[in-house]
Amino acid sequence: MIALNRRNLLTGLAAGLAAPLLDSGLCWAAKAAESSADRGLAAIAGEKGITFGAAMTVHELTSAYRALYAREVRLITPGNELKLAAIRPRQGAPRYGGADRLISFAEEHEMLVHGHVLIWNEWLPDWIKNLSSESIARLLDYHVGQVVERYHGRVHSWDVVNEPIGTDRSPDKWLYPGPFLSALGEGYIDRAFRRAREADPDAVLVLNETHTERGDSFGRMYRRRLLRLVDRLQQDGVPLDAIGLQGHLDLSARFDPDGFLAFLEQIAARGLSIQITELDVDDRRVRADVETRDHKAAERLYTFLSTALSCPSVNVVVAWQIDDASHYYTWLARRDDPQGRRPLPRPALFDHQLAKKPAWFAVARAFSEAVPRP
């Protein structure tokens, strides 16, 4: 059996191995390399009416990163700086410094800003956990109103609620637990959307969810639950514009293109647009050399993204951080592997030296093959 890596893939193409490789859909690197040269992904996606962005944290406000983001993206998602724990680490004066700096950077480069995130039952400061239900309700109204009004006209779209769906398989635990759910029940979601709409009638309001890209029974449960929630919100007239699907692609989970596309079409049929909000690849369980891991990541990205883009309602794609060295992955690696026994994960489109990886070419190819958006 031939081991596929980028070098022997290209050599193989030249030597007439092209047909089987083309048939198996593995020629992304060769094709993209010839077509996309030095253009950034924002330009390649933009030609099809697709907005390409990336998460950025204050740690990437250095000159090398600024130049890379300026070339590659048209939209910035502040990675942590708009989370409730970042704005309100303590009760009292809010801290907007980090978010302000990232949003100014985006504006200097005429990029859009996606606000992540207003209400999430995770990543909360401890002081919230001791509040009464009435205080939680007041905090929700106050927080959503204040943050959305502050950035009125500067933030194009908001993840109003993040990860509402529960991981527990028992049907009565179908929503993710936490202080907002405990205090207000399912209605916390409605309340957050209505408050956000009041504070900025023009912003795109997004419900953001994880795990739906998994082709296993867990991913399918997430899809069913998310559609059930969307139907209920729409019946009750909640102002919802788009669904955000995070797109953390786990190489140890199966991907089912047909099932995933059917799910996207069900969202589109409800009149909602779709954003891929946190695209990256989790390769931590692949035991192989770097070249093989990078190749598998690129293949998965290409298959996932070309499937997603075949649904015309998908109009925004955001990578979660731009390179392997970024803060998030250090955290991901440490949390999962505190002794550092396994190699660092390689989830992103650029490597530790900010050089393009096969993943970049896979994404470029998916964009260049996409049907132009209406």
For ligand XIL, give the closer residue by CB, 13 or 87. Answer: 87
Which of 36, 51, 80, 307 contacts ligand XIL by CB under 6 A? 80
Distance CA 71, CA 301 (A): 21
Q: Does 328 bind ligand XIL (CB under 6 A)?
A: yes
Residues 269-298 that bind ligand XIL (CB under 6 A): 278
CB of 238 to ligand XIL, least distance (A): 21
- Torsion sign, CA atoms 91, 95, 96, 98: negative
Residue 337: burial class (beta carbons within 10 Å; 0-12, 13-18, 19+): middle
CB of 157 to ligand XIL, least distance (A): 14
Of the candidate spans 252-260, 292-300, 326-334, 360-368, the one that interacts with ligand XIL by CB under 6 A turns out to be: 326-334
And the tokens for 69?
């983001």
And the tokens for 146?
């204040």
And the tokens for 225?
């639950």
Q: Does 59 bind ligand XIL (CB under 6 A)?
A: no
For ligand XIL, give the closer residue by CB, 52 or 328. Answer: 328
CB of 61 to ligand XIL, least distance (A): 15
CB of 159 to ligand XIL, least distance (A): 7
Taking phi over 0 as left and psi of -120 to 50 as alpha, with beta for the rest, 113 belongs to beta
The residue whose Cβ lies closest to ligand XIL is 328
CB of 331 to ligand XIL, least distance (A): 4
* 3-state DSSP percent of the chain in helix, strand and coil, to 5: 50, 15, 35
Which of 12, 40, 78, 79 contacts ligand XIL by CB under 6 A? 79
Q: Which secondary-structure segment (H or E) carries 262?
A: helix 257-269
- Torsion sign, CA atoms 117, 331, 217, 181: negative
Q: Does 331 bind ligand XIL (CB under 6 A)?
A: yes
Q: Does 212 bind ligand XIL (CB under 6 A)?
A: no
For 91, 120, 122, 129, 143, the CA distances from 85, given in Å and listed in that order, are 10, 10, 9, 12, 11
In the block, residue with structure tokens 């649904």: 311
Q: Is 134 a catalytic residue?
A: no
Of the candidate spans 296-304, 325-333, 349-357, 364-372, the one that interacts with ligand XIL by CB under 6 A turns out to be: 325-333
Q: Is 369 a catalytic residue?
A: no
Distance CA 140, CA 195 (A): 9
Q: Which of 60, 72, 81, 163 is catalytic?
A: 163
CB of 153 to ligand XIL, least distance (A): 24
Where along the sequence are the contacts to ligand XIL (CB under 6 A)?
A: 79-80, 162, 246, 278, 327-328, 331
Residues taking part in catalysis = 163, 278
